[in-house]
Structure 1
Amino acid sequence: MPLDVPADNGAPPVSAHSNLHSQEGARRGEHPGRARSAVVKVVDLAWLVFEKPDLDRAETFARDFGFTVSARTPDELRLRGSFAGTDAMVIRRGSGSRFVGPVFRAADRGDLDRLARFSGSRVRALGGGVAGEVVDLVDPSGFPVGVVYGADVHAALPEQLPLTLNTGPRPQRFNQAQRPAREPARVQRLGHLVLQTPRFMATLEWYLQTLGLIVSDFLFLPGQRELGPTMAFMRCDRGDTPADHHTLAMHLGPGLGYVHSAYQVTDLDALAAGGQYLAERGYHRAWGIGRHIQGSQLFDYWRDPDRLMVEHFADGDLFDASVEPGWAPLSASGLAQWGPPATRDFLGTAPSPAKVREVLAALRSQDTELTAVRLLALMKAMSR
């Protein structure tokens, strides 16, 4: 496919990746990272849906992590950030702990009709006393995906203010000591979701074509670039309006499902002090603190009591639709500019009987893009 796919404003794509940690643009004939004519262009994630058996325990962690509870019933917990907007997370009572699926936000009501016609689905009311309408879709990996319009929007809450820093030749703080509070890092909003799938390319094409996402960065396995990317960081196409570097990231792997979700906080001090707060309450840090390469976010990863991974982040990149994809080799050491080495917990490489069964099942499947050659290259990349 040609590489000169223009942005909506007619301007040619530009590169924001030159000379950054060996990143480069696409080579001739490589994937352009966007569909020529998407069905719709979603504008953001609305919320993520989970199931958990113990909503009291889920609420305790949510408050410690920095969420605000917007609603609670015996069978459902709804969580929000401090920014004006929809709920960020919906947790329903279930027999086990699992990620159900993402819900994206449509630009207008007509997008729901277009998606319903395209998918053979229907537009339905959200129900349960919640405003809005939704179309229920399923991506090629089998993940349920909702697209919503008209959902309830909460007013903004008081912010956890960023600290005034004395940096450079013009300090701004005088006669005042710096003492960030040891308290939860107040979640401002839902930032992104990361998924793993053995049907990577088919699922990538679906999100580009159906929801209009565009790729900010591709990662490929070292020595296998000609086989195509194995990870994509996708953002919403808002034209001239900048969007998060990635709203959805996805990578090839033997597993199928949720990897982590990320929630924005005010700044590095909020992230670090909030991490101390979590550690003092016995929660497990999966990886951090550090700064990513793709997306540039400051990050800190934690496990909730059910072992699901969630991220605090701050200071992420924002790209408009003119920025073309970067390309870089995948490696564990290439996931951060600075910080501790990526842990086995974060990478999902800790050996276990369940992991062996997962790998064998993926290799034997008739509906997989994972081969033994790619699996070995993936394992090698995650050890570098």
Structure 2
Amino acid sequence: MQEVAVSKVVDVHSEHGALHGEHSGRSRNPVIKVHDLAWLEFDKPDLAAADVFAEAFGFHTVTRTSDNLHLRGADAGAPCVLIRRGTQTRFRGLAFKAADEADVRALAAAHNAPTRVLPESIGGLSVQLADPGSIPVTVVAGMHELPELPAQPPQVFNVGRQATRVNTTQRPQRAPATVQRLGHIVMQSTTYLETLNWYLDNLGLIVSDFLYFPGQRDRGPTMSFIRCDRGSIPTDHHTLALALGPANRYVHSAYQVSDLDALAAGGEYLSAQGYFRSWGIGRHIQGSQLFDYWRDPDGFLVEHFTDGDMFDSTLEPGWAPFTASGLAQWGPPATADFLGTRPKHARHEVVSMITALRENNEFDVKRLIGLLKVAAS
């Protein structure tokens, strides 16, 4: 299980660390330590519309059939988004990449779960589990590695007093930003603490930052930004972000692009194609990413990001209050669409809240008040 923090915290990257007795953000003895996200899985009724958006967003299509659409970034590796034709739109789960097939077998043995050989088009071995919120979680290893594709070169900048670009202009094209890779997924859980500990204990993930509802720090955190533990090898500030909320669900996923110009010009292209920008452009606080959020044709929230923080395993978690204004260092205020407070979302959110309050979980009336304060802050 997770360790208990001591009163003195060293190597903290933020202004505030844990108080005595607060969650340390890591497990004493995890079953395995995953290396990265592998892919996300979705069901969508209209694969043609999904394919058109994928191209405009900057993915490369690996597989396109009447029933399946597999998307990848330009970096070497397996497809990072697997879409299956379904009668309704839904998120089907996430997959993590293990160090090797021995780790997949070790995790399977710990849960008395079978391993399965993946389809030949992907290759490798897998074990499928479910987190405490019943979200399917697959751990995989040994997949075929697709070769690296041409990258979108970053711009050369004249910064401060240094003239690096001389006798050359800047003319970034308004074209799809080339997706390099899948960076992270954000999910919501009614059993936040139980689910957080499940990921730490089973997959060896470690927390980069904790957030807590204003005035409720004594009740513990309600959101965590969680990274892979690869020792001295730096990894993304968060591969998974988990928040307490009234439903167990996907919130958004994020895909890296080369730089701010790619993100901004790619956004201009998406806007010209009629797609809806949910929030952006700005720079986050936790993770520091430059961000731009979009809705795909099925309503899923997806993010372009660049220039995110990279941490090794030595840094301890930071602690901060959870506020809407605290989600970005600069940029426009977080929108109602991003926060899920638009009138079109209201009925669904109210139903989710009422349902959650009737069930035995961590989402009680005081937590509901805290969540409403976040959206209003």
User: Please, what TM-score do these two structures have when normalized by structure 2?
Assistant: 0.97
**Other-structure match for 2:27:** 35
**Other-structure match for 1:217:** 209
Q: Specify which of 243, 246, 265 is matched with residue 238 of structure 2.
A: 246
String of CA shifts for 1:238-271, please: whole Å, max 9, x gaps: 0000000000001001122000000000000000
Q: Please state whether the residue corresponding to 2:26 is helix, strand or coil.
A: coil
**Other-structure match for 2:374:** 381
Q: Percent identity?
A: 55
Q: What are the within-5 Å matches in structure 2 for residues 342-361 of structure 1?
A: 342-351=334-343, 352-361=346-355
The Cα of 1:72 is off from its aligned counterpart by 1.5
Q: Specify which of 312, 319, 329 is matched with residue 337 of structure 1.
A: 329
Q: Specify which of 140, 145, 157 is matched with residue 148 of structure 1.
A: 140
Q: What are the within-5 Å matches in structure 2 for residues 201-240 of structure 1?
A: 201-240=193-232
**Other-structure match for 1:299:** 291
Task: Indicate if the aligned counterparts of 1:260 and 1:309 stay in contact, CA closer than 8 A.
Answer: yes
Q: Please state whether the residue corresponding to 2:342 is helix, strand or coil.
A: coil
Task: Indicate if the aligned counterparts of 1:112 and 1:148 stay in contact, CA closer than 8 A.
Answer: yes
**Other-structure match for 1:102:** 94
Structure 2 residue identity aligned to 1:138 = A
**Other-structure match for 1:282:** 274
The Cα of 1:129 is off from its aligned counterpart by 3.5
Q: Specify which of 2, 5, 21 is matched with residue 3 of structure 1.
A: 5
Task: Indicate if the aligned counterparts of 1:13 and 1:322 stay in contact, CA closer than 8 A.
Answer: no
The Cα of 1:235 is off from its aligned counterpart by 0.2
Q: Please state whether the residue corresponding to 1:136 is helix, strand or coil.
A: strand
Structure 2 residue identity aligned to 1:353 = R
Structure 2 residue identity aligned to 1:364 = R
The Cα of 1:308 is off from its aligned counterpart by 0.4
**Other-structure match for 1:131:** 123
The Cα of 1:3 is off from its aligned counterpart by 2.0
Q: Please state whether the residue corresponding to 2:233 is helix, strand or coil.
A: coil
CA separation of 1:13 and 1:94: change in aligned 2, threshold 3 A? farther
**Other-structure match for 2:174:** 182
**Other-structure match for 1:269:** 261
C-alpha distance in structure 1 between counterparts of 2:11 and 2:65, whole Å = 48
Unaligned runs of 5+ residues in structure 2 are none
The Cα of 1:350 is off from its aligned counterpart by 2.6
Task: Indicate if the aligned counterparts of 1:362 and 1:370 stay in contact, CA closer than 8 A.
Answer: yes
**Other-structure match for 1:9:** none
String of CA shifts for 1:190-230, please: whole Å, max 9, x gaps: 00000011110010000000000000000001111010000
The Cα of 1:4 is off from its aligned counterpart by 5.3
C-alpha distance in structure 1 between counterparts of 2:220 and 2:106, whole Å = 31
C-alpha distance in structure 1 between counterparts of 2:10 and 2:44, whole Å = 43
Unaligned runs of 5+ residues in structure 1 are 6-11, 19-23
Q: Please state whether the residue corresponding to 1:33 is helix, strand or coil.
A: strand
Number of residue pairs matched by the alignment: 372
Q: Please state whether the residue corresponding to 1:216 is helix, strand or coil.
A: strand
The Cα of 1:13 is off from its aligned counterpart by 5.1
String of CA shifts for 1:57-94, please: whole Å, max 9, x gaps: 11000000000011112211110001111111110111
User: Please, what TM-score do these two structures have when normalized by structure 1?
Assistant: 0.95
Task: Indicate if the aligned counterparts of 1:286 and 1:302 stay in contact, CA closer than 8 A.
Answer: yes
RMSD of the alignment, in Å?
1.2
